[in-house]
Each structure stands twice: as C-alpha cells, then as structure tokens.
Structure 1
C-alpha cells in the first residue's frame, strides 16, 4: 500500500474554542458536575467562567503604560538591549511579563489572582486550587512534602514520576509500593485496581508501616484510567488520603465522553499538568485539593509545601495562561467534542489497515482499567516490522510530524482538547514511512530482535531512600554491585517502572534485566551511570 506523503503544514491543528480559571469552594463535598446541573445552573456557570480575572488584570496593568524601575530588567519595552527579545517574542509579551505582588493583580485580599483560583477550583470540582509555574513536577514534590506531614510512611505506585521520587527523598519518606499492571507486549505500565491497593495497604500495615497517605497515577501515559472512586474508598477505609497524579488528565470532567475529574471522585489531592492537553503554556500546572476530613488534614501541609517549592519570581504569563485555559475548557464543550470525534475517526482509520492496531481497544484485559482517555490514541505498530522509536524519528525527519512518545512496538498520539488535526494526512504519512525503502532496511536489521526478560522483583530495602541517596557512595563494576545498596534510582524503559530505588539492595536479576534493556536498540536505563550500565553507584560499606 503506497501513499503520497502530505506536507506537514497540512496536518496543522485547527483551533476550536472559548476561555477559563479557579480556587476555593467551602463545602464538604465536591460540587456537582456540569452534567448534573439544571439548564439554568449550567447557563449561569458558563457565564461565570467566561471571565478571566487574572489575565484581565494584566491587561489593565499594561494599559496604563507603566514606567518600570523594577524587575524584570527588560522593563516591558523593546528599548535598548531588549530589542532583539521583543522582536523574537513581541513587545506585548515583555509588557505582560510583570513581577509578583502588585496591587490590582495579586497583592490585596480577594485579588484577581484569588478570583482566578476560585474559578479553577469550581471548574475541576476542588475545594481549593493552586496555580503552579514549575509544572506538575512542582506539584509532585509539593504533594510528597505535604504527605510527610501526616506521617513517615506513604504507599506509592511503583511507577511514580521521578519528581515524586525526588519529593520522597526531600521529605524523608519511607515508602511502601503497589505495582501497576504491565502490558509486557508493549512495555506499558498502567494503573492499580482497588483490590491491589487494599492488599498492599494491608500488607504495609502488617509490616509495621501503615500508610499515612496513598499516591497513585491515573491516567497513564497511554490513556488508561483507573477506578479513582474505588481507590479513594479503599484508601479512606485505611485512614489515608488519596493523592492522584492526574498530570495527563487535566481535561477530565469537561465533556460527557471523557472521564470525570478525580477531585469529584473522592481524591484528596490531584496533580494536574494543565499544559499537557488543556491548553495552557508549557510548565504551567495546577494542584487541586479535594473535599472531606482527610483533604482538610492535608491542606495546611500543602500550603506550606507550596511555599517551599514555588518561585518568588512566578511567571505572570504562565499564570494568565492557566486562567485563560480554564475558561476555554469550561465554555468549550462543543470544541472538545469535535476533538473527540477526530480522535475516534483516527482510530477507525487505523483499524482499517491491518498493519496498525489501537492499543486501547484491548484495555479490557487489565483489571485496573475502567475507562479510556479518548484524546490519547496509542497505536500498535508491531505488525509493520519497524519499531515505534524508528517510526517516530522517521516521521520527525521526513514530515516534521511529532508523536508524543514511542515504545518498541507503539506510537502515542496526543490530541489537545479543542484541537482538530488532519488525521487522514497523519495516517498517510504513517503509511508512507512504513512503505519506504528505509523501513525495509530497518525490518531486515531488526529481524532477530528478542523480547526483554520479565521484570525483576525489587530488592530488600536496607536503608531509607534518603539514607541511600545521601550516604557516602562509590562506583563499582556491575558484577560487584549485586548485594550492595543502591544510591540511585534506576528505571528501565520500557516500561519505566523503577527497578532499583535508593536504599534498596541490588539483585542479580535486576542487573541482568538492566543489562538486557540497555543492550536493546529500543531500550535505555534512566538514572544509570553509563548507557551500558557497566557501573553502579552504591553506598560505601563501613
């Protein structure tokens, strides 16, 4: 099957919709979702969310054409050495780039920033929301520091993002783990079922490490969604708040065909990477506090941890993008619906070609997956005979077409809420790449590729993660590392689950697995001293 390769400009997104913002709703339960409201209530909600109070405050500030004898040094003009920066970004961007703590913007009580935060909390069904300008990584570190305020022991999904592991180290947490399900064929880590969580929490309590908080991930990188309500019920039954890394689901709750916002499902704290699919600028994110007594116990610790992880030079432009993105989501249901239609059409096109398969069509094989994020399209390319990594790079080089990520057997397409890419043109580019002479060469080169060995079990935790990370260390050859205590986090991709954590004993099985992945043309080991994993950083023995 051959196809003419489309020019990448033909695949550009067509924008679709309005605007939005958020902070403090004082009730013991999450406010009703838009689908549960009367027509009059819904109309009033849409009217309120058309406002963008923080962004509007920036507009009012620059309308006065202020003379700035303060930071930032570019002064909000294109004069002097700021000329080139203004030519690159536009002078308006420099004028909007103002410092914190200005009257009429974010300084006084009930400021425009407070109004924007209130609207954001309402939009996602939270009691309270914080705007973040250091990304969801800041939210993860904040969440870990806050959880430590409730106790030393936290039960976390083993596939947690590295920023949460950083928070564990910073906070001095002693973690227990619950493992996600893994699609071994595609190297994909998914989520955790309520039954698995209950078993892990019970085991931790019996081992003398009752969890003060629980941390899970939903959705996964690949669009699989866990039973957040069931997980919240289990965590709460064990007396622990549920922290949800919902970084990849900031658009949840804004269309009836999408999963619900975790804050409305009983989660006590939700990490939301708003820029990922919800339209704010890169590095902007939100942290949502849930409702109920366990969330209330977390709140003062979140507030203090937020102060520790925030910049004192927070970007006004990033904050404004969050305000505007919130308004766009709440008022943009029709546009989001068009994005879902495009994503579903893409799935239909892929299903019609036997060389491609839609990975999410088979999510029902995993007990933890209860829903799918329709704006993520994970594509099985194993029948093409080329790896997902090769195909992704080929599309970048030949078509300037960028998929979000790849594994040895898959590509993952992300369609932003309100966006409508030309998926027929994307499929044509996929087919052209697979039919190319370069693909034939790649297939021949990978004819003898072998599967990775099974995931090894973690070694015994002999020190706390903090003790392992900050201990006196030395580098030793891989053969000498077996039985020693790791100072590093080592995670083989795929599937990206940490195989060794600081403070854990390095096992022979872990060394063999990491070597096998490192030797593969489609694998790598994050955190390794060298790409071949020939050395390990271990805690020096006394």
Structure 2
C-alpha cells in the first residue's frame, strides 16, 4: 500500500480525502508502482486535454485494502455508518449493482426463494443467477394512466410468504425497491415488521433514495424503517462520482455481516479507484457538516417547477402519498404525444436533457447541483411545446392521426401473466439457440432484455415468452429505446433455452 504515515495526514473528515492528498503531495519520491501513467507522467494527451492532469496525480495505488480495510478506508466507512445511521457501511466501486449482488448472496442460500417485485432492477436477476435462488414475484400495483408500476403493499408480501410456506420453500429474504425510479415509496416500516415476525431479512434497493432523511421534506430512509440491508447509489442524487455506492447494515439487523464482507471480497475489484472511494468519503463529510441546507435549493426549485408546469394546459405532475419531492415526473398523456416525442422537443428547443422519458411521462431528478437557469429553461420548453406548430398541427388532426397513434400503442404493463419454467440460474447455464421473433411465443427465454434506463427486465432467463412480451419489446424498439441484454440487437430473433 502507498506509504503514508498516520502523522502525515489530517485525522479529521474527510479522512480518506486527506490521506489521498497527503500521498499525492509527497515530495522527492521515485515511483515504481501502478498505474502505469505514474502520476500523469505518461497520461494520454487526449485525456489530459479533456480533464487536466490533476486527476492523474491522485490516481494512486491503494492507501488501504478495500476488502479488509485497517486504515483510512476503514475510518471513512465507520464515519459513513455514523452519518447514515448504520451498524456497518461498506464502500462500493462497482455501483449499487455490486451491492445488490452482495446483499442477496449474503442473506440467502442456494435453493432459497427470494421474494421480490417483478419490476426489480436487472441486478436482482443476476444475483439470483449467482446465488441459485428461486424467484417468488410480487406484482406491484400498476398505474395505467401513467403506465408505470408503483408500490408493493405489506399484504402482497404477506401473501407471498404464506404461499412459500404452503409450497415448502424457504424464503431467504424479501427484496424491495423503494423508492422507484419515479420516486414512489413503499411502506417499508410495515413490510419490515412483517418480515421480522417471520425472521426473514429485508433488503432494500434504495439506489434512488440515498438522500432520504437528510432534510425534513424528504422521506424516512429505509434504515430508519427497519430494513436489514440497504444499498444506495450515492452517486445519483447525492454528490459522489458515478459508479460509487454504499451498502449499509442496520443496527438491529438479523443478517451475518461477515458473510456480506466475504461476498464483497468475491465481487469487488482488488484494485479500486482511489478517487471513487474519496468521493464517497467527501460526500459523507459534507452531509455531516450541513445536511439539510444541501437540499434547500433543490427542493424549492422542484416545488416551483411542479407548481408552474401543472398550470400549463395538458401537463400533469405525478403525485403519490409518499414520493420523493426531488423527483419530478410530468405526465403527457393528455396531449396525444409520447414522452419520447416531447423529450426530443425539449432538447431541440431548450437543450434540456431528461433522465427518463417514457410512453406517457418524462422524469426529471432534481439534485443539489440543479440550478434555477436550467429549471427556467425546462419550464419554458413545456410552455413552448403547446404553442409549437408540431402540437397545433396534431391537435387539429386529433380525431384521426392522434387517436390512432395513441390508442394503438401497447400498454407496457407486462407482468400480469409471467410464467416461470426454469430458475434464473438453470436458464442462464442451459444450452441455447436462436429462434426467430415470430416463433418465440411459448418458448423459455434464455436472456434478460430490459430498457435502459430504468434497467428493469421485460423478460428474464427461465420465463416463458408471451405474445404480450413480444409486443412490448417491439414497442420499445419502435420508440428507439435502448434495450440492454438482447443477443440480437435488431430483435429479429431471441435466445431460447434448448431444453
């Protein structure tokens, strides 16, 4: 590890940042270590021209060991656990995907059932492949006006537990995504109470809620609602670099922390990037110093944007009893245009880049870095749209072109008829062959295919392909949505389990 004596770096937050700074500022050292650019001496010129040479100066070998930390990484993780209210916190450099893999592997055993909503992130599917688990899907309540899944109810979880007991299967864990990509939160307090009555650990994918609990206007975080393991994308609404996340275990958790550590040692790289780790530490330090003021501006801007946009004829603002106030989702279904079409208009008109356009909505995350000038352009873009020739022309043709384009779209609620023939692991390792898209209905799927974002699979390995799934895939293709995981990017065929 890089040679920095404890006395050479400031032992106050941000701990890892200070250690990295001390290491980079060492004078008169002859360096024979990785990475090969050697503090930027041989960094690619094109990259220096893009980001400058300072990042290379701090791209150093490990100051500590991420898998078994004893120095600044351990101290930074302990500091994060205190700030986020956890018993133990691990820094992740493989994103929340890595954390979900470790959380599921660390709580379940091969052959266990995993109770989870079918709209879980694709990382939950791959975790079941790695762990050899049997999925027990919950189908979340669906809002057909908005064409999106919403919450998982405690009664749905209870029903799943009872069904597994009657089938003689052991529920290894319950896995819930809260908030959703659109900021909608499930009742985790009641779900956690229910899980613990049955001695079942609750894992929460809180990728989009790492900021929860740091402002009075924000929802309670999963840890405060009784979750055992929580995985957060610190790089989303919070302030760390992309790909950096955290995994937390609650103070009253019923899981084995050592098993989580062993899983992370298996899954994480042995050469973590120091800048990613330092960004997690720096975020923790800033949250500890002034948590609520970080979000004042973003919350006020989000309130202003929602209030103004819902006054514009035709637009609707998504609102639920428990929703992240920093997630602004605008419904466009009253206008006869898709979210994709209006998203294109906003970019061309005001250079506005959204996070997630859909068939009936567009989602905009607000964050500490959101500025008023950008919000003003967003609002102006929506106002400009209803005055544009594009809108007016189609509005006058509503009885023909409009009704045909909207009514004939496929509703994207695809999980009402899911049939599982193989476990995800068995399907993943099964022999496979390509079958033309016209002949795949009734076959067992051998791959995960999902629109990205949000990264929720339309079909997963082991599920029977229905006619509806094919229609939905073709609809996404028609909308030019990025589909991840399809072995045939043109969707003229699919990979089928040859069993």
TM band (smaller chain): 0.7 to 0.9
Consecutive unaligned residues of structure 1, counting only runs of 5 or more, are 1-48, 365-370
Q: What is the distance in 2 between the residues matched to 1:499 and 1:130?
A: 31
Q: Over aligned residues, Cα RMSD in angstroms? A: 2.8
Taking the TM superposition and a 5 Å limit, the aligned residue runs for 1:74-223 are 74-77=37-40, 79-80=41-42, 82-101=44-63, 110-149=70-109, 152-223=112-183
Which of 467, 484, 503 is the equivalent residue of 2:462?
503
Aligned 8 A contact 1:250 1:277 in 2: yes
User: What is the match of residue 334 of structure 2?
Assistant: 383
Taking the TM superposition and a 5 Å limit, the aligned residue runs for 1:43-442 are 51-65=13-27, 66-77=29-40, 79-80=41-42, 82-101=44-63, 110-149=70-109, 152-295=112-255, 297=256, 299-330=257-288, 331-360=290-319, 363-364=320-321, 371-417=322-368, 419-422=370-373, 423-440=375-392
Q: What is the distance in 1 between the residues matched to 2:317 and 2:43?
A: 52
Q: 1:470 to 1:114 in 2, by over 3 A?
A: same
User: What is the match of residue 441 of structure 2?
Assistant: 482
Moved more, 228-237 or 501-510: 501-510
Q: What is the distance in 2 between the residues matched to 1:62 and 1:519?
A: 48
Aligned 8 A contact 1:473 1:539 in 2: yes
State the Cα deviation string for residues 100-137 of structure 1 (Å, max 9, x = none). Answer: 145xx979975222121111111111111111111111
TM-score by length of 2: 0.88
User: What is the match of residue 44 of structure 1?
Assistant: none
User: What is the match of residue 404 of structure 2?
Assistant: 448
Q: What is the distance in 2 between the residues matched to 1:471 and 1:407?
A: 34
Q: Secondary structure at the match of 1:417?
A: coil
Aligned 8 A contact 1:125 1:261 in 2: no
User: What is the match of residue 6 of structure 2?
Assistant: none
Q: What is the distance in 2 between the residues matched to 1:224 and 1:432?
A: 29
Aligned 8 A contact 2:356 2:454 in 1: no
State the Cα deviation string for residues 514-536 of structure 1 (Å, max 9, x = none). Answer: 45x35754767654454674433
* Cα shift at 1:465: 1.1
* Cα shift at 1:202: 1.2
Q: What is the distance in 1 between the residues matched to 2:68 and 2:248?
A: 22
* Cα shift at 1:252: 0.5
Q: Secondary structure at the match of 2:372?
A: coil
Q: Which has the bigger relative contact order, CA under 8 A and spacing at least 6?
A: 1
Q: What is the distance in 2 between the residues matched to 1:67 and 1:393?
A: 53
Q: 1:327 to 1:380 in 2, by over 3 A?
A: same
Q: Secondary structure at the match of 1:384?
A: coil
Q: 1:524 to 1:258 in 2, by over 3 A?
A: same
Q: What is the distance in 2 between the residues matched to 1:530 and 1:153?
A: 31
Q: Secondary structure at the match of 1:221?
A: coil
Aligned 8 A contact 1:50 1:327 in 2: no
Q: How many residues align?
A: 479
Q: 1:409 to 1:513 in 2, by over 3 A?
A: closer
* Cα shift at 1:245: 0.2
* Cα shift at 1:75: 0.8
Consecutive unaligned residues of structure 2, counting only runs of 5 or more, are 1-10
* Cα shift at 1:171: 1.7
Aligned 8 A contact 1:391 1:434 in 2: no
User: What is the match of residue 537 of structure 1?
Assistant: 495
Aligned 8 A contact 2:111 2:132 in 1: no
Q: Are 1:473 and 2:432 counterparts?
A: yes
State the Cα deviation string for residues 424-460 of structure 1 (Å, max 9, x = none). Answer: 3320122224432344567666541224246353443
Aligned 8 A contact 2:110 2:132 in 1: no
User: What is the match of residue 12 of structure 1?
Assistant: none
Aligned 8 A contact 1:472 1:540 in 2: yes
Q: 1:494 to 1:514 in 2, by over 3 A?
A: farther
Q: What is the distance in 2 between the residues matched to 1:340 and 1:173?
A: 40
Q: 1:68 to 1:224 in 2, by over 3 A?
A: same
